[in-house]
Amino acid sequence: MTGLLWERRAQIGCCLLLQGTLLASGLALEHLLQRSTPSPGGAKVATLRG
pLDDT tens, residue by residue, 26-41: 999 999 998 776 656 5
Strand ranges for 1-50 from DSSP E = none
**Helix, strand and coil in the chain, % to nearest 5:** 75, 0, 25
pLDDT at residue 48 greater than cutoff 70: yes
Per-residue pLDDT, 9: 94
Model pTM? 0.58
Per-residue pLDDT, 13: 96
pLDDT at residue 1 greater than cutoff 70: yes
pLDDT at residue 7 greater than cutoff 70: yes
Q: Report which of 33, 10, 30 is spatially closest to residue 22, judged by C-alpha positions.
A: 30
Q: Output the CA–CA distances (angstroms, integers) from residue 15 to 3, 10, 19, in the order listed.
A: 18, 9, 6
